[in-house]
A and B are shown apart, each in its own frame.
Chain A
């Protein structure tokens, strides 16, 4: 696995694009939409995983499927690697440039192409921001369910590439449940159509499902058809304050076993609470609390108070110190604030933040969290945990300074231990952020060599030359 030190701007020599190739690309997408000036390319040197930085050779910003097809055909013909990029909010380095590659960005492909109220479908270009789709469908009483924490910035194309989840996927499921069809441009520029609502009876293998989560290695999705849901009539949000993480975990287990189906069950730990309360995002969580549990129900207004009452009883039975219930949208946002602003708050404590991502069986959460605390102590690192407790998806956040080589080394070692720990209890190395470059080295923890070889062959199915997003996913 490449380490952050190996993949930095200072250590990688970027090739420039020849004027001839740049001109051919400009002829396709327009004069202003091929970026080759070094000062402007720096903006694309990393995605949300800032520990890795490589300046790309060029950035091309097409606007249509046809332009993407022609751009990829040119780059394929020249044997130039392509790195697809949405908003660059990914946290695993999936959009990290390669030094001899060109970024194909979807920023200009930001149109919602259709909204079908009757069939509850929408079709959008990949550069549409996740939250914007819900805003656009709200007048029809509909919304798009997957809600990654970065939904105000991340794009649908990126969501497809990473099979993104979010706090509310506990009840509603992740991106793959909602994407019904894709228009995809393959590495050589061929345009193909996968799936499509109403065509499920075609006896094809599930290429839509296989493409989702392929991290830009199989093709570039240029049109995304998604299923919409009726917007819930009401919502109830609770905040449980617990003295210990173990007690919060008991409450979660009881809630999930009770037959309730919360829309979201989120926990922040003591270290996160302290960070949030010391920041401008202070949410009023007690700083001596061991854990804060956010529980949300949505659906028909009439049943929500019953659900909230039952969840509150579970919290009380698990020795919650206090349970707060929002009575207005303003209060609801207040209860969520400590969870939603956690990453921002931590960013003010240390120059760099590694947002880890792993999933474990829910019943193993208490022991895994305790061990993560020990790992932080062993490596003298600050680790704060924010996680989707309902589905066992952990986000241990490691605070560090990448200019400190020793600390960076300890971050890498602690990360590997955390990943090994999660796998050892039946979990996996990533629940929603993807593998990218960050977790390639951990793939052998969850796949043996036969399986890794099968993944390499799967990539060959779509991109025989391996020009699309090379160096990602596979070790």
Chain B
């Protein structure tokens, strides 16, 4: 009896597909034994228990846009797309709960119908699944104003590697009833558990968004202005430098976003311009296609075959951006308030990335590989021995049998 038949016999409610039906390999060089699509938390639990018995690894995927296995061995792809749909939404409570396989677009549309939103804007967000976003702790340029994704995840239902179902967090904004295991799951990249449901905090849509811009020939030329914005007496919700941008004929741009009432954003713009000592262009949808520029900012470099991310203190950004430019790395997006640089491209080389990592680490920062093919895989900054040991212990309590596939190095 083949594995597929065994699974169908053991778990008749779990849909099973051959990987060839997916229309090509999702993971470079890696092919799962089959793709299983459970439609309930209970079936996820049963599938994990079954996989452990069969000595199979399990890799949870939804949109598949960020899965990137790095180890060899037999594994099953656990497709979460059937764990889909909004489970609970009470607009007056500003909370929404959805299945982990729910596309963010579904959640976003539901919120916006009620004048609300979830203020994080990672690359290609609308096409990605809730579980994938949370698993990656994916973030975008709204970090300055609204904080990291981890601040918006109020609760989750997860299944551990050995099939235990845990409800972590809750559905209220403030909750300190026990150790906050949810924090280690957000950004855990599937190392600890499989997410089956996620509860997010929603926010009222801002009454106004003002998008301000300065353009220049290169990203490096705009870093000082961006840092000046970041030390102004008012804090924009987003401060990003990116380039080259197609929408600007290959030039780079510093884009600043302000949220608030009309009078507030008027005043904030004046304060920023005084503080930075220059005037910004005010982008409007009608004349400048502001949405197109923001969309390019959100995705630039992130949807390429190869993508790396650097973190440093904002005060160290200039040196690291220069180092990247010196070795020809780009295009890049710089969140100057968070101190993060994203660089993507199909032609990123191992050596230039190594040089960038060295520059980042010398500046007290770090580099991680967001996505890369399996061949000539560069290495990112490792964690310390002490945190690695604690992380391993943590993994051992969530996944004592080592069933969950390490989706990333």
- Chain A residues within 8 Å of B, Cβ to Cβ: 116-121, 141, 162-163, 165, 169, 173-174, 176-177, 190, 192-194, 197-207, 209-210, 212-214, 217-218, 229-231, 233, 253, 256-261, 299-303, 306-307, 359-363, 388, 391-393, 426-435, 439, 443, 446-447, 450-451, 454-455, 457-462, 473-474
Q: Is the CB of A198 within 8 A of B383?
A: no
At the interface, yes or no: B191 with Cβ under 8 Å from chain A? yes
A204 in contact with B387 (CB, 8 Å): yes
In the complex, the answer to whether A299 meets B386 with C-beta atoms within 8 Å is: no
B366 at the interface (CB under 8 A from A): yes
A435 to B368, CA, bound (A): 37
B177 touches A206 (CB 8 A): no
B364 touches A202 (CB 8 A): no
CA distance A198 to B95 in the complex (A): 31
Chain B interface residue count: which class?
Answer: 35 or more
Closest to B386 in A: A192
A463 CB → nearest B CB, Å: 11
- What's the least CB distance linking B8 to chain A, in Å? 28
A202 in contact with B381 given A192-B387, A451-B167, A473-B179 (CB within 8 Å): yes
**Could you jot down 23 A-B contacts, CB within 8 Å?**
A193-B387, A197-B339, A198-B366, A199-B311, A199-B366, A253-B92, A256-B94, A260-B204, A261-B203, A300-B271, A302-B264, A361-B93, A361-B171, A362-B92, A362-B94, A393-B173, A426-B171, A432-B174, A432-B176, A447-B178, A454-B160, A454-B397, A458-B394
Which are the 10 A-B pairs with shortest beta-carbon distances? A303-B264, A209-B183, A302-B267, A431-B174, A201-B311, A457-B397, A259-B204, A201-B366, A192-B386, A198-B313
Which stretch, B101-109, B228-236, B325-333, touches the partner chain A? Answer: B228-236
Q: For the complex, what is the distance from the CA of A119 to the CA of B172, rounded to whole Å?
A: 32
Q: Chain B contacts of A301 at CB under 8 A?
A: 267
Q: Are A300 and B264 in contact (CB under 8 A)?
A: yes
Task: Closest A residue to B259 by CB, please name it.
Answer: A261
Q: Which residues of A contact B192 (CB under 8 A)?
A: 205
From 374 to 394 in chain B, residues with beta carbon under 8 angstroms from any chain A beta carbon are 380-384, 386-388, 390-391, 393-394
Closest chain A residue to B314 by CB distance? A119
Identify which of residues 31-81 in chain B touch chain A, using a CB-to-CB cut-off of 8 Å: none
Contact B91 A203 (CB under 8 A): no
B315 touches which of A118, A213, A257 (Cβ 8 Å): A118
17 new A-B contacts, CB < 8 A, other than A118-B227, A174-B174, A450-B165, are: A121-B313, A165-B174, A176-B150, A197-B339, A201-B340, A204-B383, A206-B150, A210-B183, A259-B204, A299-B264, A359-B170, A362-B93, A430-B176, A455-B178, A455-B179, A461-B393, A473-B178
Check A428–B184 contact: CB distance below 8 A: no
Q: Which of B174, B184, B360 sits near A206, CB closer than 8 Å? A: B184
In the complex, the answer to whether B204 meets A443 with C-beta atoms within 8 Å is: no
Q: Are A443 and B151 in contact (CB under 8 A)?
A: no
Chain B nearest CB: distance from A143 CB in Å?
Answer: 12
* Closest beta carbon of chain B to A467's beta carbon, Å: 17
Bound-state Cα–Cα, A190 to B385, Å: 12
List the A residue with the shortest CB-CB distance to B268.
A300
Are B174 and A454 closer than 8 Å at their CB atoms? Answer: no
- CB closest chain-B residue, reference A447: B178
